Amino acid sequence: MRTTTTTAVLIAAGLLATLTACSGETSSTEEAKPTKSSDASAITPEQEAAARQAAGLPAEPNPAQRQVYLESLNAIDTDIVHGKDDKAVSRGINQCGTVKTSPNDYIKLIETTNSRFTSPDHPDGHGTIKAERILKVVRDNICPDF
């Protein structure tokens, strides 16, 4: 959870700096108007990669990695992804942050996996056995270098 917050703060700070640098000065009587620029608020891939690295998160998986990851989760139980592919990928990336900060605390990794991968039918997670399998899929497909 802390890594998500860190990433969001870094991205927001980058956006704020970009927007501040792009805005012009206005007089006190002139109303400030937002400037329209297609890339004034866009985050570059380099900025995103730097933010992810600072937060201890891996890069977004490429399409092939993403497909294998989602298929592997669905092979465990289709309710893990429950039709929310982007959410499942995001949860995997966030779980990698926990793997990076606590690689040898297996109990913590299983607990966070179970609490992170929930669904409407399993609001408290899918249980220890499935959490172990989910963690393996995450580590194999999203963050094999962690």
- What residues does each domain of the chain span? 1-18+39-55, 63-141
- Output phi, psi for 26, to 5 deg: -125, 150
Q: What is the pLDDT of residue 113?
A: 98
Q: What is the pLDDT of residue 46?
A: 85
Q: What is the pLDDT of residue 76?
A: 98
Q: What is the pLDDT of residue 104?
A: 95
The three-state secondary structure class of 127 is coil
* Structure tokens belonging to residue 110: 């299983």
- Output phi, psi for 20, to 5 deg: -65, -40
Give per-residue burial for 112-132: e unless 16+ CB within 10 Å, then b. Answer: bbbebbbbeebeebbeeebbe
| CA separation, residue 132 to residues 73, 85, 108, 136 (Å) | 12, 20, 11, 6
Residue with tokens 């298929």: 71
Q: What is the pLDDT of residue 49?
A: 81
C-alpha gyration radius of the chain? 19
* Structure tokens belonging to residue 36: 């329209």
| CA separation, residue 74 to residues 3, 47, 110, 124, 131 (Å) | 26, 32, 18, 18, 13
Answer yes or no: are the C-beta atoms of 44 and 15 closer than 8 Å.
no
Low-confidence ranges of the chain (pLDDT < 50): 1-37
The one-letter code for the residue type at 103 is P
